[in-house]
Amino acid sequence: MASKGPLHSKENVKTAKAAIAPPEKPQPSREEKKKKWTLEDFEIGRPLGKGKFGNVYLAREKTTKYIVAMKVLSKTQLKSGHFEHQLRREIEIQSHLRHPNILRLFGYFYDTTRVYLILEYAPQGELYKALRAERKFDEKKSATFVAQLADALKYCHSKKVIHRDIKPENLLLGNNGELKIADFGWSVHSPSSRRETLCGTLDYLPPEMIEGRTHDEKVDLWSVGVLCYELLTGSPPFETKSHSDTYKKICRIDVHFPAHVSPGAKDLIMRLLRHDPKERLSLDRVLTHPWIREHADVASLVVHKRK
Ligand code: ADE
């Protein structure tokens, strides 16, 4: 277990006996004992979601009864897709991040066939599903999600971490419906000139990434603009039936807005969708943009301690 937290120690759980017994010496924590987690420590419940390399299940740690989400990855699939390196990076990066709008990664373990990630459980599930169910979100909900995302990304960027894969499928909802960035599988330390194979949709990728150029944290600003558009309209701005048509639309920044999108929202989106990364609005400027100020529920931006 990389960090302190509800799953930190099995040993210091209070018992009735402990309450009446004379004070004991402080017990070494799970971390200090370097005790490793195993599947035996958890009860596994219903599936929460399906991924490329395996599924996510609701799970409960047996001694503390703490509820988590357990991501189970197949070693064979990880190996055949050459994703072991990516998984190591995901664990290394996500386990060190602490922000109310970033899903915690509490720890991991493995057996002969699988790797298990112990993740924070996000009770309101996938933002993607909520958006498909409601078709589109109103300005208040959209602006609130954009502000929460901008705040979480500001924290990542302050640690030189770029996410590079912001899209509704990688965002979950916490107990109070707050956004949680999940899935750091594509994240890296900035700047990056690596030319990974881009799998999946191009919809959220900025021109510099599609074209395989060196990129920095400003790639995430572009995807905040794309997400804002999708939250308000129900579809991403460059969606087409083919990869090559989407590619062309992205490079030309060929964006059309339905009539219901307000001038303030359009202004914010177009200040983020700039071909030149240096011209994109900074995250601080996103948070103080008049449309965000007017519509976002600022109380949702939890005041948090920063180390
Ligand atoms: N679906 C996928 N991951 C999840 C998580 N951590 N919490 C809730 N639902 C999920």
Could you tell me if 254 and 294 lie in one domain?
A: yes
Could you tell me if 105 and 32 lie in one domain?
A: yes
Residue 245 annotated among the catalytic residues of the structure:
no
From ligand 1's centre to the CA of 69, what distance in Å?
Answer: 6
The residue from 99, 120, 141 where one domain ends is 120
**What is the reported pLDDT for 200?**
78
Q: How confident is the model at residue 2 (pLDDT cuts 50, 70, 90)?
A: very low
Q: What is the mean pLDDT of residues 181-206?
A: 82
**What is the reported pLDDT for 267?**
98
From ligand 1's centre to the CA of 94, what distance in Å?
Answer: 15
Q: For ligand 1, pick from 7, 55, 117, 126 the residue to mutate: most ligand atoms within 8 Å of CB.
A: 126
* Domain containing residue 75: CATH number: 3.30.200.20
**In a domain? residue 74:** yes
**What residues are paired with 70 via a beta bridge?**
57, 118
Sheet of 42-50, strands arranged across? 42-50, 55-61, 67-74, 114-120, 105-110
289 or 29: whose pLDDT is higher?
A: 289
pLDDT of residue 149 exceeding 80: yes
**In a domain? residue 217:** yes
**In a domain? residue 1:** no
pLDDT in tens, 68-103: 999 999 999 999 888 898 899 999 999 999 999 999
Could you tell me if 86 and 188 lie in one domain?
A: no
**What is the reported pLDDT for 280?**
98
Total domains in the chain come to 2
The residue from 93, 120, 147 where one domain ends is 120
**In a domain? residue 153:** yes
pLDDT of residue 29 exceeding 90: no
Could you tell me if 132 and 82 lie in one domain?
A: no
* Domain containing residue 254: CATH number: 1.10.510.10
Rounded Cα–Cα distance for residues 35 and 9 (Å): 9
**In a domain? residue 84:** yes
Q: 30 with 16: CB under 8 angstroms?
A: no
pLDDT in tens, 239-260: 999 999 999 999 999 999 999 9
- Cα-only R_g, the chain: 21
**What is the reported pLDDT for 198?**
67
Measured between alpha carbons, how far is residue 280 from residues 206, 221, 229, 237, 277 in Å? 11, 7, 15, 17, 5
- Dihedral, CA of residue 249, residue 234, residue 202 and residue 246, to nearest 10: -20
**In a domain? residue 92:** yes
Ligand 1: list residues with CB < 6 Å: 48-49, 56, 69, 103, 119-122, 125-126, 172
Using CA positions, which residue lies closest to atom 2 of ligand 1?
Answer: 49
Q: What is the mean pLDDT of residues 211-229?
A: 94
pLDDT of residue 57 exceeding 90: yes
Q: How confident is the model at residue 214 (pLDDT cuts 50, 70, 90)?
A: confident
pLDDT of residue 133 exceeding 90: yes
**What is the reported pLDDT for 168?**
96
pLDDT of residue 306 exceeding 90: no
Could you tell me if 186 and 214 lie in one domain?
A: yes
Q: For ligand 1, pick from 72, 106, 119 the residue to mutate: most ligand atoms within 8 Å of CB.
A: 119
- The parent domain of residue 14 ranges over 10-120
From ligand 1's centre to the CA of 125, what distance in Å?
Answer: 6
pLDDT of residue 18 exceeding 70: no
The residue from 66, 96, 120 where one domain ends is 120
- State the closest ligand 1 atom to the C-alpha of 68, by its place in the atom list counted from 1: 6
From ligand 1's centre to the CA of 138, what distance in Å?
Answer: 24
From ligand 1's centre to the CA of 49, what distance in Å?
Answer: 7
Q: For ligand 1, pick from 94, 121, 170 the residue to mutate: most ligand atoms within 8 Å of CB.
A: 121
pLDDT of residue 4 exceeding 50: no
Rounded Cα–Cα distance for residues 119 and 71 (Å): 7
Q: How confident is the model at residue 14 (pLDDT cuts 50, 70, 90)?
A: very low
Could you tell me if 112 and 144 lie in one domain?
A: no
Rounded Cα–Cα distance for residues 224 and 22 (Å): 56
**In a domain? residue 270:** yes
Could you tell me if 108 and 194 lie in one domain?
A: no
Could you tell me if 185 and 104 lie in one domain?
A: no
Using CA positions, which residue lies closest to atom 9 of ligand 1?
Answer: 125
DSSP 149-169: HHHHHHHHHHTTEE----SGG
Catalytic residue among 165, 183, 203, 220: 165
From ligand 1's centre to the CA of 71, what distance in Å?
Answer: 9
Could you tell me if 111 and 206 lie in one domain?
A: no
Could you tell me if 114 and 162 lie in one domain?
A: no
200 or 5: whose pLDDT is higher?
A: 200
**What is the reported pLDDT for 195?**
60
Could you tell me if 300 and 168 lie in one domain?
A: yes
Name the range with the highest mean pLDDT among 23-27, 28-32, 269-273: 269-273
As a whole-number percent, the residues of the chain with pLDDT over 70 amount to 86
pLDDT of residue 111 exceeding 90: yes
pTM of full prediction above 0.75: yes
DSSP the chain: --S-STTS-STT---HHHHHSPPPPPPPPHHHHTPPP-GGGEEEEEEEEE-SS-EEEEEEETTT--EEEEEEEEHHHHHHTT-HHHHHHHHHHHTT---TTB--EEEEEE-SSEEEEEEE--TTEEHHHHHHHHSS--HHHHHHHHHHHHHHHHHHHHTTEE----SGGGEEE-TTS-EEE---TT-EESSB-------S--TT--HHHHTT--B-THHHHHHHHHHHHHHHHSS-TT--SSHHHHHHHHHHT-----TTS-HHHHHHHHHH--SSGGGSPPHHHHHT-HHHHHHS-GGGS------
Using CA positions, which residue lies closest to atom 8 of ligand 1?
Answer: 122
As a whole number, the mean pLDDT across the chain is: 89
Q: How confident is the model at residue 302 (pLDDT cuts 50, 70, 90)?
A: low
**In a domain? residue 4:** no
pLDDT of residue 225 exceeding 50: yes
Could you tell me if 137 and 57 lie in one domain?
A: no
